[in-house]
Amino acid sequence: MVHLRIHNPNSRVVRTSLPQGYSSPAAPYCHDNKRQIQPPPPPSCWNAYRTSSKCAANMLLPLAGDLCALALTSCYALGLLRLFEETAKRGLFKQMLNRKLLHITFGLGFMLFWPLFSSGIQGAAMAALVPGVNIVKVLLIGLGVVKDEATVKSMSRFGDYRELIKGPMYYAITITLCCAIYWRTSPVAIAGICNLCAGDGIADIIGRRFGKKKIPYNKDKSFAGSIAMATAGFTVSVGYMYYFSMFGYVRTSFKMVLGFLVVSLVSALVESHPICAKLDDNLLVPLASVLLGTLVFA
């Protein structure tokens, strides 16, 4: 034990003690010089355990939330696919109309569930699993590995299972990539999916019903269908801009609205071009939307 003598002019000499081996050259004292302020104790094992527990909880809670969101979104997707399989089997709609209704509702409804997922790569990857599973499904059916007549009727134009490895697969790939790469903070994802789902879907429905006046450079397309596509793609894109802005993912602006208008007009022009019949509008429309959107929203 080390003894120190401290002289206090207003009081008697104070004798105090320090623990043996204490190496501090000048231990602090309070104002009356009668008691020493002890250094803070080292962190206990319990404090370390609580810190590690908090870190583990911070890692597991987003994962648990994403798993719940994935389950809920999967229920929506499976339920919607099952619904249109039943309508196709029962003949409630014409096959082309049934296909387009599924075309419109799947992608747009899927985007409504995006705010349930966490931010960053983990949330985007978990959400992208929903349409990603459908890529494998339509590929297996389109190659003839799996037979599913209900799915073929609900997704094909003419009831041929080989159609699924074209339009329906391009559709699922587009939504998966827009979700995984651009995610909910990018207007490119909004423009790509909205012009594919709302724009292309509405164009076919309106064009078949009111498309009497054909476009000069493509007799298979009508002015009514192309106008409907540009209008629907633009309107729904702006709607989703405001939807995601409520969660703070994007900021609404006139520049973004103008960008959606440009992308929707160009997408409608691409869809009306004869090359879409040779390739596929489910491939060219989102490709044009994403490439142009990358430039417009840069």
pLDDT tens readout for residues 200-228:
999 999 998 898 899 998 888 999 999 99
Separation CA 112–CA 105 (nearest Å): 11
Vertex 227 angle, CA 224 and 233, to 5°: 130
Strand 14-18 to 214-215 pairing: unpaired
With a cut of 90, say whether residue 22 has pLDDT above it: no
Which among 146, 116, 107 has a CA at the least distance from the CA of 232?
107
Separation CA 106–CA 289 (nearest Å): 19
Separation CA 284–CA 199 (nearest Å): 13
Separation CA 187–CA 297 (nearest Å): 7
Model confidence at 58, in pLDDT bands (50, 70, 90)?
A: low
With a cut of 50, say whether residue 14 has pLDDT above it: no
Separation CA 79–CA 58 (nearest Å): 32
Q: What is the mean pLDDT of residues 149-175?
A: 89
With a cut of 50, say whether residue 194 has pLDDT above it: yes
Structure tokens at 2: 């080390």
Separation CA 259–CA 15 (nearest Å): 80
Element (H, E) at 291: helix 281-296
How many other CB atoms are there within 10 angstroms of residue 245's CB atom?
Answer: 14
User: Which carries the bigger pLDDT value, residue 150 or residue 240?
Assistant: 240
With a cut of 70, say whether residue 28 has pLDDT above it: no
Model confidence at 27, in pLDDT bands (50, 70, 90)?
A: very low
Cα-Cα end-to-end distance for the chain: 72
Which among 36, 40, 33 has a CA at the least distance from the CA of 8?
33
**pTM for this predicted structure:** 0.78
Alpha helices by DSSP H, 42-143: 45-90, 95-112, 121-142
